[in-house]
Amino acid sequence: MSGSPRAYDVAILGAGVMGASLAYWLTRLQPGVSVLLIDQDFGFRRASSSLSASSIRQQFSCPVNVQLSSFGISFLRQAGELLATNGHTLDFGLHEGGYLYLAQEHQEDALRRLYEIQRGQGADLGFLDKAALRARFPWLHSEDLAVGCLGLSGEGWFDGPALHQAFLAKAVSQGAHRMQAKVVGLSGPRASNGDLLRCDTVIVEGPSSDSVTAGVVVNAAGPWSATLARLAGLSIPIAARRRTVFVISTPQVVSNCPLVIDPSGFWIRPEGNFFLTGTTPAEDKDDLPLVPAFEELDESQWARLAHRIPALEAMRIERAWAGYYEMNLFDHNALVGPHPQLPGFYCITGFSGHGMQHAAGAGLGLAEWILHGEPRSLDLRPLSVERWVKKAPLNEANVIG
C-alpha cells in the first residue's frame, strides 16, 4: 500500500468463510462493485474456517436457521459448478449421511417439538422409536434410549476448508481485492464529543498506519469479532471458545453411521476410515490457547462413547486439533446486518459452531442487505444486530459442543 488512503465500496474485515462468501455474492450480484477483503493471515492457520468439522444439519430450533441450512444444502449440491473457475468443476465431498439426535424418555417430548418445527420448515426427517433405531443401526446401544430424530436427506458433511477457498478464489476471479494486514483501528467522522458518527476508515498495521476508506465496513472477524468491534467503540457478545476435535479409529465395522448426537453431550461422525468426535468442555473459558484439550477424551468420555457404540471399545486416538467457535454468549445465534448504533458498520459473525453450513446463505443475505437495503432471498432479519442492542434474544436450543 502507498501512504494515501484507497477507496472501496465495501471493506470486509476477515476473509474466513463468512468474508469470502460475502465477497463472492457482492461481486456476483453487482459486477463492478469494489470489494476489499482484509485478513491478517491468508494461510488461515487459526481461522475457524480451517479447523471446522464441516457438517450440515436441518435440525435447529429457530426457523431462520433451518432456512439457512436448507439454502446451504441446495447451494452445496450445486457448488461444484457455481464456484468453478477456469471451467474446472470442483468436488466438495458432500456426503448426505444424516444427523441422528438421540433422546431418553425424559427428552422425548422436547425432541418431538423440535421435529415438528423442523418439519414445518420442510426438513426431511424421520422420527424413530427404539425398535426402528435398533433395526436401522444395529451397532447402536439403544436400551436406555426412547427415540431418535434422523435427517433422511439434506444433512451430512463436506469439505469446508475447500468450500472456503473456493468462495475466495471465485470472489477474486469476479474482481474482489485482497490485502494481508492486521486491522488495528476503525475511524470516520466524529461528533464534537469524539463519538464516531459513521465508520468509513479502516486502519491497518504498518509502518505508517496505512488506511483504506469504504462506504461499508463489515466485521467478519469470526472469533475475534468482539475485539474488532471494540475498535469502533462497540461491544458485541462474541467470545472465542475452544473446541477440540478428536480423530479416532476402531478395527470394528460401524456401517451407515450418521452424525450422532448423544444425550450425554458428545457428537461423533465418520470421516473416511476414521471417526471425528468432540464434546462441550466442562470448563469453557474465553481465548484458551489453540491446542487440543486431550483431557476431554478421558476414561469417562471413552466409556460414554463405548456405551453408545460398543464397537468403539477398541478405539484408538489418532490425532486431535482445536479451533475456536465464534460463540454468541447472548443467544447462540449469528449477528448479521447493519449495526444500528454505527452507520456504515455491518456484522456477519457469532454463528456459534454452525457457520460453515450457513456461510452461503448468510453471505447472500448480507450482500443483498448492503446492495438493496434489505435481505431478499432469505429473511435474515431475525438475526439482525438490533436484537442484541434491544436485549431481545432469539435463543437457539440446538448448539452442538
Which stretches of the chain bind ligand FAD, using CB under 6 A?
A: 13-19, 38-41, 44, 47-49, 51-55, 182-183, 220-224, 228, 243, 245, 323-326, 349, 351, 353-357
Minimum CB separation of residue 132 from ligand FAD in Å reads: 26
* Look-up of cell digits 462474541: 238
Minimum CB separation of residue 255 from ligand FAD in Å reads: 22
Show the cell assigned to 125: 426427517
* Look-up of cell digits 476414521: 274
Minimum CB separation of residue 110 from ligand FAD in Å reads: 22
Q: Pick the closer one to ligand FAD by CB: 27 or 48.
A: 48
Q: Pick the closer one to ligand FAD by CB: 147 or 380.
A: 380
Q: Pick the closer one to ligand FAD by CB: 142 or 344.
A: 344
Q: Residues 188, 191, 192, CA angle at the centre, nearest 5°?
A: 130
Minimum CB separation of residue 337 from ligand FAD in Å reads: 15
* CA separation for the pair 292, 289 (Å, rounded): 9
Minimum CB separation of residue 345 from ligand FAD in Å reads: 14
Minimum CB separation of residue 134 from ligand FAD in Å reads: 27
Q: Are 254 and 270 in contact (CB under 8 A)?
A: yes
Residues 6+ apart with CB under 8 A from 362: 18, 21, 22, 68, 334, 336, 348, 351, 355, 380, 383
Q: Pick the closer one to ligand FAD by CB: 33 or 320.
A: 320
Residues pairing with 250 in the sheet: none
* CA separation for the pair 20, 165 (Å, rounded): 8
Show the cell assigned to 392: 431481545
Instruction: For the chain, give the longest Cα–Cα distance.
Output: 71
Q: Are 16 and 220 in contact (CB under 8 A)?
A: yes
Minimum CB separation of residue 310 from ligand FAD in Å reads: 25
Q: Pick the closer one to ligand FAD by CB: 36 or 146.
A: 36
Q: Pick the closer one to ligand FAD by CB: 163 or 196.
A: 163
DSSP 8-state symbol, 398: -
Minimum CB separation of residue 178 from ligand FAD in Å reads: 11
Minimum CB separation of residue 349 from ligand FAD in Å reads: 6
* Alpha carbon distances (Å) from 90 to 16, 54, 99, 163: 19, 17, 25, 9
Query: What pairing do the DSSP bridges indicate for beta strands 55-56 and 125-129?
Result: unpaired
Angle between helices 17-29 and 160-173 (to 10 degrees): 40
Q: Pick the closer one to ligand FAD by CB: 338 or 401.
A: 401
The stretches of 149-244 forming alpha helices (DSSP H) are 160-173, 225-230
* Look-up of cell digits 456459534: 352
Show the cell assigned to 308: 453408545
Q: Pick the closer one to ligand FAD by CB: 243 or 387.
A: 243
Q: Pick the closer one to ligand FAD by CB: 147 or 336.
A: 336
* Look-up of cell digits 444395529: 138
